[in-house]
Amino acid sequence: MYLTWLTDARLYEVLARIDDDLAETARRAGCLVCAGVLHSARFPRKPRGGPAELPTGYDRRHSFCCAADGCRKRRTPPSVRFLGRKVYLGAVVVLAAALRHGLTGARVARLRQLLGVDARTLERWRHWWHRAFAESPWWKAMRGRFAPPVPASTLPGSLLRRFAGNGSEPLVAFLRFVAPSPTSSDGAGLFEGRRRPAEDAH
Ligand SMILES: [Zn+2]
């Protein structure tokens, strides 16, 4: 079921509109340092793992630069399309990692065929969810919202299943929920000073 969501073109349209809203909210709030006006300074992304025809705009991530002289602080709003610095689309990183739990050789082969994701990458994503995400202060603060508790050992699937809806709606709700988390977002510069190149690259 999860993999059919990834072939639904409407999913990518919805995610693009949510990102537009998140960007507009950030722009209107202005610079967090000096309250200056923000100018668009999007940067290029080459997302992997999506359908052949992604909606326009998927080659760019929303980002802003403060227009004030002497500040020029960059602000990158949260994104439901891109998860941190990972080169794959956020939806793919969630669903492939959700499927990874108990994956058979045949399903790994299918993921590789559909998404171009190999077993090593899947394993890295699984570790990212179980370590960087599960052990983040953000998740530790948020997990109390869920009852019964969300088992960390089966993230992200265990969290994904807590969101209800038709079709890919649970995935959209999941991505909206995790987008502002520091581990998922480049935005607040929280990676700075403790960057993990091995994880950032995938
Ligand atoms: Zn500023």
- Model confidence over 156-167: pLDDT tens digits? 999 999 999 988
Paired strand residues for 39: 65
| CA of 33 relative to ligand 1 center, distance in Å | 5
| CA of 75 relative to ligand 1 center, distance in Å | 9
With respect to residue 197, please indicate whether it lies within any of the assigned structural domains: no
Most confident of 20-29, 176-185, 189-198: 20-29
For the chain, give the mean pLDDT: 84
Q: Are 117 and 59 in contact (CB under 8 A)?
A: no
User: Cα-flanking dihedrals φ and ψ of residue 71, to 5°?
Assistant: -110, -75
With respect to residue 104, please indicate whether it lies within any of the assigned structural domains: yes
| CA pair distance 18, 107, nearest whole angstrom | 31
Q: Are 132 and 196 in contact (CB under 8 A)?
A: yes
| CA of 107 relative to ligand 1 center, distance in Å | 48
- Number of structural domains, the chain? 1
With respect to residue 199, please indicate whether it lies within any of the assigned structural domains: no
With respect to residue 79, please indicate whether it lies within any of the assigned structural domains: yes
Neighbours of ion ligand 1 (CB under 5 A): 31, 33-34, 36, 66, 68, 71, 73
Tell me the one-letter amino acid at 127.
Answer: H
Specify the range with the lowest mean pLDDT, choosing from 10-19, 90-99, 104-113: 104-113
Read off the pLDDT of each residue in 92-107 and give the average, rounded to a whole number.
79
Range of the domain at 60: 2-190
With respect to residue 131, please indicate whether it lies within any of the assigned structural domains: yes
